């Protein structure tokens, strides 16, 4: 029966190697970014603001609304790279600024005008410094001139506000408007069209 001993030995070694391999995988998962991504969205303190990629969201925002805002921003960013087209309202034709925001919001049952001037009259007025993902920011060249542009907020970390919008020169892009020498002086107002949903 000397042949049984090496066979049992091989079985034990195989099981040991498999166990060590599984332990190595668990250790790697704990150390990997994937594991961190799974745990970072959970606040340590129940009263703390959630930690997500879209900046702080006030605690009064419901979790359903937060998910809606996140979905809106994620979908809007899938349109990055689409061409600009005056009065365009779909990816097939290209977008102008208000056609883009109207198109994105319509995907979530939020009906807004396809005119930036009219969009500026819809929703709830909010302080530009307190915008949340999914809010709209409007631009005007001077107090006596009409609204000429609209963008959709991607994030607001309290220092930088990033938006996604359709621009005449580069189509749909993500911009840090706080750092932009072009857009920053024209920032006029902001509206929340998501909260009423």
pLDDT in tens, the chain (197 residues): 455 556 776 776 777 777 777 666 665 665 654 444 444 443 444 444 444 455 555 556 688 999 999 999 999 999 999 999 999 999 999 999 999 999 999 999 999 999 999 999 999 999 999 999 999 999 999 999 999 999 999 999 999 999 999 999 999 999 999 999 999 999 999 999 999 65
Q: Is the pTM of this model over 0.75?
A: no
Residue 130 main-chain phi, psi, to 5 deg: -115, 20
Instruction: Please choose, from the candidates 138, 131, 107, the residue with its C-alpha nearest in 3D space to the C-alpha of residue 195.
Output: 131
- Which residue, among 119, 131, 15, 30, has the nearest Cα to 73 in the 3D structure? 131
163 bridge partner residues: 153, 175
* The CATH number, out of the four listed (3.20.20.80, 3.40.50.920, 3.90.1720.10, 3.40.50.2300), of the domain defined by the range 63-192: 3.90.1720.10
Write down the domain spans for the chain: 4-40, 63-192
Closest CA to 197 of 53, 10, 61, 19: 61
């Amino acid at each position: 029966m000397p042949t049984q001993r090496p066979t049992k030995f091989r079985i034990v070694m195989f099981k040991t190697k498999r166990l060590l391999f599984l332990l190595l995988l668990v250790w790697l998962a704990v150390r990997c970014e994937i594991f961190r991504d799974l745990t970072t969205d959970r606040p340590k303190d129940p009263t703390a603001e959630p930690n997500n990629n879209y900046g702080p969201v006030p605690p009064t925002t419901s979790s359903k609304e937060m998910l809606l805002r996140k979905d809106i921003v994620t979908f809007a960013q899938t349109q990055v790279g689409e061409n600009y087209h005056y009065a365009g309202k779909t990816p097939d034709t290209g977008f102008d600024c208000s056609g883009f925001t109207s198109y994105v919001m319509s995907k979530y049952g939020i009906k807004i005008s396809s005119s930036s001037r009219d969009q500026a009259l819809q929703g709830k007025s909010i302080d530009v410094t307190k915008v949340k993902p999914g809010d709209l920011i409007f631009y005007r060249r001077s107090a006596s001139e009409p609204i000429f542009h609209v963008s959709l907020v991607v994030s607001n970390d309290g220092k930088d506000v990033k938006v996604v919008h359709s621009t005449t020169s580069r189509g749909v892009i993500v911009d840090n408007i706080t750092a932009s020498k072009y857009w920053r002086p024209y920032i006029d107002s902001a509206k929340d069209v998501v909260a009423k949903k």
